[in-house]
Amino acid sequence: MTTTETIAIENEHMPPFFKKTAVSIERGEGVYVWDEEGNRYLDLTAGWGVTCIGHAHPVIQSALNEQSGRILQNPNSGLTYSPVRSRLLTLLAEILPANLTRVFFSNSGAEANDAAIKLARKATGRHKVIATKGSFHGRTISTASATGQAKHREKYNPLMPGYLFVPYNDVPALSSALDEDVAAVIVEPVQGEGGVRVPSHDYLEKVSDLCRANGTLLIVDEIQTGFCRTGPMFAMDDTKARADFLTMAKGIAGGFPLGAFAVSEEVSSRFEIGDHGGTYCGNPLACAVAQNVIRYLLDHCISAHVAALGKVALDEMLQWKERYAGAVSDVRGKGLLLLVEFVDESTAARVMAECLSGKVFVCLTQGNGIRVFPALNIEHGQLMDGLGTLRLAIETTATAKR
C-alpha cells in the first residue's frame, strides 16, 4: 500500500475529527519514526505524550510477547484476581503519594477523570465541581463539561450540570467559589493542552489547604505530567499538596492504552460494591506493559535525566524569545514539557510546517504554541538536533515576516 492509498482510505472511512498531516507512519524505533516511503523523522511529540520511553522499546515488546502468551483478559474480568495486576499495584504503591493507597484502572485518562468526578460526588454527597479556565480533562461528555475551554464544551450543549470555572493559578478566585456544595476541585499541576501553564510554586498546596478546610475533595490530574514528564515521578511530588484522587494515563504504559486513578483510604472507605467498574479495569496485558515501563523509569533514573535535560532545553529555548522577538512571544515549561508561544497562529503554523519539512514532528497547541514533549529517555544530542531544527524554522519564519 502507498501513502496515497493509505490517506485516501482513512479520509473515506474515518469521521473528520482531525486536520491530519499528510504523512503515513509505518514504524518507529526510539525517538524516530519512518513513513511508508522510508523517510525518517524525529518525534518530539511522543504520540501526544504517551510513548514516554520511545517507540518499540524492548521492555514493552518483552511484556507484550510474554503476557500475550499467558492471558489477555481474565474470566469475569475484575471479579477475579491477577498476579500481574497485583505486581503493578505493588510498584505503584512505591511511587504514589503515601496517602493514596487504593488504585483502580481504566482505559484512558478521560475515563479516570470521569470516574474520579463521579466518585467524589458520591463520597461527599455534594454536587458542584470546580475546574480551572484553560484546563483540559478529557472528551467524554462529563470531562468535556469539566474542561475550561469553551471550544471543547459549548458545541455539545446541554452539558453536564454542576461545573464551575475559576482562573488557573488564582487562589483568591478559588476561595470565593468554594461553598458547602462543592464536591471536588480538579486541577492540573501544569496545564498541558491548555498551553503549558506553570503555576506558582505554592499554588497546588494552597488549593489543597482550601479544599481540606471546606470538606472538598482534591482531584489532581496528572495524566500528562505524571511518570517523570516534568522531572519528578509526579509533578505534585515537588509540592506539599495532599490529593484525595490522583488521575494517571499517557506515560503509565509507554503508549499502550491504560489509565488509572489513585484514591486515599479515607475516601475509598466511602465506596460500596457497584459504585464503579469496567470491562477491562486493569487487564493483564496492560498491567504487564505498565509494570515494565515504570520499572524502566525507576531503574534508569529517568526523573533526574528529565530534570537535567529539561533545564538545558529550556535555557536554550529562552534565548529565542529575545533573538526572534518579532515571532516568539514566550517560552515556558518544566522538565520535558515545553512550549514556544508565537505572536499569532499563522506564525506558529508556518514554523510547524518548516519543522515537518526538516523531518521533525512537533505539536501545535492552542493555535499559536508549539509544544515539545519527546520521549523521556531522549539523548542530549537527539534533543539538541530537534531543537536546532525548530530554531531554524523560527528563524526562517521570522525572516520571511520582515
CATH code for position 201 = 3.40.640.10
Same domain, 144 and 267: yes
CATH of the domain at 324: 3.90.1150.10
Same domain, 216 and 279: yes
Same domain, 187 and 127: yes
Same domain, 63 and 39: no
Same domain, 185 and 328: no
Last residue of a domain, one of 250, 282, 299: 299
Cell of 322: 529575545
* Locus of grid cell 524569545: 321
Same domain, 195 and 330: no
Cell of 392: 531554524
Amino acid (one-letter) located at 132: T
Same domain, 215 and 293: yes
Same domain, 271 and 353: no
Amino acid (one-letter) located at 102: R
CA distances from 214 to 6, 121, 183, 208, 241 (A): 54, 14, 9, 10, 15
Find all residues with CB under 8 Å of 21, minimum gap 6, and list them.
356
Please list the pLDDT of the chain residue by residue as tens digits (402 residues): 899 999 999 999 999 999 999 999 999 999 999 999 999 999 999 999 999 999 999 999 999 999 999 999 999 999 999 999 999 999 999 999 999 999 999 999 999 999 999 999 999 999 999 999 999 999 999 999 999 999 999 899 999 999 999 999 999 999 999 999 999 999 999 999 999 999 999 999 999 999 999 999 999 999 999 999 999 999 999 999 999 999 999 999 999 999 999 999 999 999 999 999 999 999 999 999 999 999 999 999 999 999 999 999 999 999 999 999 999 999 999 999 999 999 999 999 999 999 999 999 999 999 999 999 999 999 999 999 999 999 999 999 999 866
Same domain, 13 and 52: yes
Last residue of a domain, one of 299, 331, 352: 299
Are the beta carbons of 246 and 96 closer than 8 angstroms?
yes
Domain count across the chain: 2
Same domain, 50 and 91: no
Cell of 101: 493507597
Same domain, 275 and 153: yes
Last residue of a domain, one of 265, 281, 299: 299
Residue 337's domain spans which residues? 3-56+301-401
